[in-house]
Amino acid sequence: MKDHKKLIEKFDFVLDNSAKDEHIQIAHQEINGDDKVLAEFKEHKILVDGIRYASRKKLLESIKTWDAEMTSIPKNRQFFMQKRWFLAAASIIIIFTFIAILSYFIRPEHEKLIANYYQPYSYGTDITRGDTAADGNDFFEAYQNGEYQKVIELYNSVGNSSDPVMTDFLYANSCQALKMYDSAIPVLERISRMDNPLAPAAKWYLAISFISEDDSDKAALVLHELTEMKSSYAAKAESLLRELEK
Amino acid sequence: MNNHSLIERIKKNDGEQVLREIYQQHRNEFLHWAVRNHACSTEEAKEVFQQSIVVFYENVIHGKVTTIDVQMKTYIFGIGKYKLMELIRRRDSMREHIDEESMEITDIYHGMFDDQYESKLSQIEVCLRQIGEPCNTILQHYYYHKKSMQEIADLMNYKNRETVKNLKYKCLMRLKKNFFTSGATLTTELS
């Protein structure tokens, strides 16, 4: 066995290629000189090649595993990667909805009342255009079109309007629509005290302006007066008054 | 880390980790480069790159590469280029001359495994699995990874190099018995 072990070591020495050429040459000559040894060397060589072949395959398998690790994404991440745009859009919608709901609930009480009760005065419903004799006038047309800024700009150029109260009223409404309550309130107060068909409407919008300014007491007073007047605003005034007194 | 330290690490039992780092560092760039410049598919490029890493490793452990004067990337790409040309030549059945790079890029097992011979090697691979551990690992450490008896003793917690030497001999004899009694016939010629 000892001799055979030595022979195997000689074979390894030849196959290793790291020894000096002349030493390998000598070993080669010894092997080639004996048919039995040569046959055994051939057997040994194929075994060594087989071991190297298996090892090389094993290393390649390891490399393929690294590659798979590099390129594969965990299944749970895959779901998010595939649906990422959908999830991003859904998240944005949820966030905006949440903000909208939140802002509705956290905004001041008076803003909720305004949102529920305020609508700009609709010129042409209570009073027909013919009543004002202002057909074709840019001022009235601008109001009808909701161009409140233009109404304010044109207010002073209206001049001799056939219905100055209506002109003032629409001006005050335009100011209110643009949240210019300081300008709207004096005009509405003046009209509300007049003996004029627009007085109930002026009281209504005056009350709304006071609520907008968070002055509930003044608003309640005006609304109370309005409930006692015969007008289309009485019922609304009563309802708003109840809301204010909650 | 410089090339010299990388080569030292490969020799000193840290080969797999170093190869992994090199593979991950250069893989994507190689695939991109190979597909763009050598009319091959991504899969082919990937296979070539994997083989190039193996060739690089074998060149290091067999002492064919001791220093690399160029960048590691250049060296690996050089092996890859050689392998790609080989692939293209094989694919197109062309017999064009491959102008080898000035640096020594050799695949030590190149052309060794023809189909008939490879089937024998596959049988040995099966036999190697059959003889199991620790023989499988000892033989692969010694014959492929070029570990010395002492290194194997240290790696596998054996008493000394003599113990490993005896074990290695016994393992080899077991493999030989398994292979040659499994009906394999020997046709290889002594080169």
Q: Which class for B49: exposed (0-12), middle (13-18), buried (19 or more C-beta within 10 A)?
A: buried
- Higher local confidence (pLDDT), B116 or A142: A142
User: Looking at CA atoms only, how far is residue B140 from chain A in angstroms?
Assistant: 6
Partner-chain residue, chosen from A49, A56, A70, that has the shortest CB–CB distance to B24: A70
Contact A50 B123 (CB under 8 A): yes
Contact B23 A52 (CB under 8 A): no
Average pLDDT on A211-220 reads 87
pTM for this prediction = 0.54
Structure tokens at B171: 């393992």
| Burial track A3-17 (b if 16+ CB lie within 10 A, e otherwise) | eebebbebbeebbee
Site from A7, A16, A49 to mutate, B interface, most B CB atoms within 10 angstroms? A49
A/B interface, count of CB pairs below 8 Å: 96
Q: In chain B, whose CA is at the least distance from the CA of A66?
A: B20
The parts of chain B modelled with pLDDT lower than 70 are 1-3, 13, 66-70, 93-115, 182-191
| pLDDT tens profile A4-38 | 888 888 788 878 766 667 777 777 777 777 788 88
Provide, rounded to the nearest whole percent, the portion of chain A with pLDDT above 70: 85
Distance set, CA B25 to CA A14, B37, B76, B187 (Å): 37, 20, 11, 43
* Cβ atoms within 10 Å of B53's Cβ, excluding its own: 25
Partner-chain residue, chosen from B19, B143, B188, that has the shortest CB–CB distance to A51: B143
